[in-house]
Chains A and B, each alone.
Chain A
Amino acid sequence: MGNKHVNAIVVGAGAGGGIVAKELSVAGLTVVLFERGKWATYDDTDTDELISQRTTVLGNAYGPDDLRHRRVIVNADGSTKIVLPSEGGYNNNAACVGSGTVSYGAMAWRFMQEDFKLKTTYGHVEGSTLEDWPFTYEELEPCYEKAEWEIGVSGDDTQNPFAPPRRKPHPMPPFSHNKEAKLLYDAARRLGYHPFPIPMLRNSVPYGGRPACIRMRTCVGFACPVNAKCGTHNTVIPTAIETGNCELRINSIVSEINVNDQGKITGVTYFDDKNRKQTQTADLVIVSASATETARLLLNSKSRFFPNGIGNENDWVGRNLQGHAYTGARGIFEEDIYDDLGPGASVAICDFSHHNPGIMGGGMLCNEFIRMPYLFTGVRPPGEPSWGKRHKEFQRINFKRVGQVQGPYQEIPSFNARVEVDPVVKDFWGIPVVRLSGFRHEKDIEGCKLMSEKAELWLKEAGAVYTWQNVGGGKGLSGGQHQAGTCRMGNDPKTSVTDKYGRVHAVPNLFVADGSLHVSNGGFNPALTIMALGYRVGGYIASEWTKGNRFK
C-alpha cells in the first residue's frame, strides 16, 4: 500500500507552512501538510509556568519532547554537548499544529523599508554576510496586508511615524495599555519619543468567528483558553482542510527529500504516527520546518546529485543562523506597577530602528510581557543574591514593582553561525540531528549597549528609582524562537540558497517558506514576516500552477 500521489507536500505546519498549504489547496492543488507534532490544546498544560514555551524546565508544552529529540551544540572551545529540547541551548521552536503561533506573544510587526536593504543603508561590514533582500518592502506589502487580514491583527500604525507605508489599516483596533505601559507611554512622550500600541496577532474584538482576548496574565508561552490568539492553527490550516484538498498528517516527521535517477525531486520519506517509514510522492515539495529544521532536512537529503545536501552546492545551507539579540533594561518602581492586566507588552517605540549613530539596524523597544513567578526569581540587579532570605524578600516586595523595557536587536549576519547535521548523533528515528556552532558578529554588542542605555533612560523617566541594564548581543550563538537566515534568498546562486520566490536554485520543484529565507532578521519579532513570505511563496506557486506551470 502506498500513499496517493499529490500535487504538493508542505513540511511543517507553522507560520509559513500553514499559509502555503492554504494558498495551494484553495487554488485547487492537492496537498499533504506534514507536522511532526500534534494538535495542541490549552488544556494540555494550561497556565503551568514550568511547562510553558518560555520556561521549559519540566518539558515543552508544545513540543518537541525530550525523549525522542536532541541536538548537538559546539562550545567556544570546540567541545560538543548534547542538549535536550527542554534545555536552553537547543534553540527550540514549538512542534505542534500552528507551531510557535499557538504559544507566541503574537507581536505582528512589518519589517521596515530599510530592513530589506541593510547593505545599501549601512554598507559592507567586515566579517559579515550583510546583504540586501532580493526585493523591496513595497513588493512584500500586499502579502503583509493579506496576513494581517486573514490571520487577524489588532493595531494602529497611524500612531507610529516610523511605520512603513500601508494601503489598508489593521483589521482590528489596538489593545489598551496596562498600568506599566501607561507609565511608559507618558514617559516616552515626555522624552520626545513616539510611543504607539504594539500590533498583535490577537483579537481585540471578536474576529474570524473567534472571541476577543480576555487579557490573561499567562499568554506568551501558553495556548489561549478562549482561542483569541490568532495563529495558523485556528485560521488558515482549518481553511485548508475544509477545501477537501489538504490532508494534515500529524505526528509525522519527514526525514529526507527524495530524488530520482534523473536528479528530480519526487517527494519525501517520513516516519508516520506509528513510527513506520513511509514515502509520499508529489509534484512539488515546500519545506517550512523552521530555520534549524529546514536546513537539517536539506542537509540530510544527500544523493548522487546532491552529495552535500540539496541546495548546498556552495555551502550556504545552514549558514547565517540568526535570532535576535534581546537587549534592554529593568527598573524598580516605588509602588506597584503591576495591575494584572495581561498579557503585558503593549507599548513600543521605533525611535531606535535605523538612522541612529552607533546603532546598526537597531530594533524596536517595548515593555515586556508579564513575568511569571519562577521566571522572576532570575530577575535581579547585579550583586543581588540568587537565594536566601534576601532573595525571597526581593521577590515579595518587587514582583509587582519591576518594569522592563527591551527589544529584539537586529543582528548582523555571520557566515560562521550555522546549522550542520551531526556526523554521529541521531534522534529516535535514526535521523542525524542538528549541530549548532558559531557566534554572533562582534559588532552586535556595541549597538546593544546603546539600546540598553536608551531603555534605561526610558524607565527612569517613567519613575523607576533603581535601574539596571541587561545588555544582549554578547558572544554566543543566536537562534531561539526567532531563528532565521539559513536558506537565504538571493539573485546570485553562489551566495544564496533560493531565488526571490523561495525556490531552491537549480531545483525546479523545491521551495522553502519560513524564516530560513530571511536575508536579515529585522529589528522586530519575525512572525508576521514569515507569514507574509508564506503568502508570497504560496501565492507564487498557486498562480504559476494556475497558468499551467508544473515546475518541471
Chain B
Amino acid sequence: MTKNKIIKRVLFIIPFFLIIFLILFGGFYGYWNSASPDKTCSSCHEIGKSVDSQSKSSHRNLHCKECHGTALSNGIHSLKEKGMMFVNHVKEKDSGNIRPSEEQLLEVMTNCQRCHTSEFADWTSGGHSIDYQHVFLNTKHNSTEQINFDCLRCHGMFFEGTVIDVVEPLNTKGPWKLKDGKRAAMPAIPCMACHQIHQDGLPHSRPDYAGAKSIFYQKQDTGFVAGFYDRHEKIYLPVSQLPQLNLWEGERKVRVSDDPVMRNCVQCHAPNAMHQAGTSDDRTPRGVHEGLSCMACHELHSNDARKSCKSCHPAISNCKLDVTKMNTSYADAKSPNNIHFVACADCHKDGIRRTRN
C-alpha cells in the first residue's frame, strides 16, 4: 500500500468515527442530563446517599447539574474529571467515601450565586469572603504567631492536606508564600463552611393564602439552614447538633443567647479552654448586651453591624447618648465602648439612677 492510500484511508476513517462517536455520546449526554437522578447519578450506589439527602433538602427541586454542572460545563477539565469518576467507579476505588474536592466545591459555589444573588453579594462585602492570601500571608499575624495545623479548622477547611501544604515556611521569620500560587484568591471560608447544600429543609414556595397556616408568621419552622463543617470528621453538623457555649466571667456564668445559629459562630469565635469571656477569639456579648445573639446586631452574610445600633438606640434606650458617634469597634484595642463588652458604667461614670427595684 502506498503512502497516499494510507493517508486517504485515515482521512476517511477519522470523520467516520467522529460521527459515530458524536451520535453515541450526544445521545448518552442528552439522556444523562435530562433524566431523573434515579436513572443516572443515583444509579451509582456511591452517591445514592447524596442524591437521597438532596431529595429531602430545600434544594430538592433542582437537578444535580444545576449545581454540579455537566461533563461539558467546564470544558476538558470537567470531561476529564467525570471520566475519572467513571474509572474510579469501575475500579471501586474508595467507593464508600465520595466527597467533592475543594476545587469542585468552589465550582459548585459559583452556582450558588445564580439564585442567592443578594446573599452572595453580602458575603462578598463581609469579612468571611477572605481569601487564602489574606489569611495565610498576613505578615503581622505570621510574625507574631506561628501558623499551625489548627488554622485550617476555621480557614481553608476544605483544603485536602495540612497547613504544611498551604503555606511555607512554618515559622515566625518568613517571608511567607503560598505553596500553590493559584490558591491566592480562592475563598478560605466558602458558603459550605456554614451551609450544607443538601441539608434537610423545605423549598420556599408561595403561601397558600386560603390556608392561614402556610403564611409566613404561622408557618411551621423548618429549622435552621446553618451549621459547621467539621474538617476532621469530614461531616457537616447542623446547628442543632452543635454544643451550646458555657461562658464564664471569673466565677460568674455569663448568660449566652440560646439562638442556635450562634452555636455556629462560637465554633470559630471561641474563648479559651477555660471558657473565660473575652479570651482568645471570644466576642460573646456581655455588659449591657449580655444575652444577645450575634445575629441581633450582625447581618447574616455580610456580618455588617453598622446599622444595628440605631435599630435599638435611642428608640428604646434612655441613655440620651448618641451611640452612633461612639467608638465601639472591637478592632480598636483602645475603644472605650467595645460593643461586645460595654457596660453601663463605661458611659455613666456617676452611676445610673435606678428606675425600678
Contacts and interface: CB of A to CB of B under 8 A. Distances in A.
Direct A–B contact in complex, judged by CB atoms less than 8 Å apart: yes
Contacts of A227: 146, 148-149, 170
A43 B172 CA distance: 21
Given A43-B162, A340-B273, A225 B146 contact: no
Given A41-B162, A42-B162, A209-B172, A225 B149 contact: yes
A156 to B, nearest CB: 20
B272 A225 contact: no
Contacts of B280: 214
B149 A214 contact: no
Contacts of A43: 149, 152, 161-163
Nearest to B143: A209
Contacts of A216: 273
A46 interface: yes
A342 B273 contact: yes
Interface in B127-153: 145-146, 148-150, 152-153
Contacts of B206: none
B163 to A, nearest CB: 8
A468 B203 CA distance: 58
Given A41-B162, A43-B162, A47-B232, A225 B150 contact: yes
B148 A226 contact: yes
A27 interface: no
Contact of B146 (A209, A223, A339, A340): A209
Given A41-B162, A46-B232, A209-B172, A341 B148 contact: no
A513 to B, nearest CB: 27
Secondary structure dominating the interface of B:
loop
Contacts of A211: 145-146, 148
Interface in B164-205: 164, 170-173
A210 interface: yes
Contacts of B149: 41-43, 223, 225-227
Q: How large, as a class, is the contact surface on chain B? A: 20 to 34
A47 B149 CA distance: 12
Nearest to A227: B148
Interface residues of A, number: 21
A209 B142 CA distance: 10
A223 B161 CA distance: 16
Nearest to B232: A46
A215 interface: yes
A43 B234 CA distance: 12
A206 B173 CA distance: 15
Nearest to B153: A225
B153, B161, B273: most-surrounded residue (chain A CB, <10 A): B273
Interface in A31-50: 41-43, 46-48
A46 B145 CA distance: 21
Contacts of B150: 42, 214, 225-226
Interface in A339-386: 339-342
Contacts of B153: 225
B274 interface: yes
Contacts of B161: 43
A215 B171 contact: no
A210 B171 CA distance: 8
Given A42-B149, A225-B150, A209 B171 contact: yes
Contact of A215 (B148, B152, B162, B273): B273
A168 B261 CA distance: 51
B253 to A, nearest CB: 13
A52 to B, nearest CB: 13
Given A340-B273, A342-B273, A210 B162 contact: no
Nearest to A41: B162
Contact of B274 (A42, A48, A209, A341): A341
B232 A214 contact: no
A46 B163 CA distance: 13
Interface string B231-243: 0100000000000
A400 to B, nearest CB: 13
A488 B152 CA distance: 45
Contacts of A341: 273-274
Most A CB atoms within 10 A — which of B149, B152, B164? B149
A342 to B, nearest CB: 6
Contacts of A225: 148-150, 153
A215 B280 CA distance: 12
Contacts of B145: 206, 211
Interface in B273-303: 273-274, 280
A237 to B, nearest CB: 13
Given A41-B164, A42-B162, A214-B272, 4 more contacts: A42-B149, A223-B149, A227-B146, A227-B148
Interface of B: 145-146, 148-150, 152-153, 161-164, 170-173, 232, 272-274, 280
5 contacts: A41-B149, A42-B148, A42-B162, A43-B161, A227-B146
- Across the A-B interface, give the 10 residue pairs with the lowest CB-CB distance, nearest first: A215-B273, A42-B149, A225-B150, A43-B162, A226-B148, A46-B232, A209-B172, A41-B162, A227-B148, A225-B149
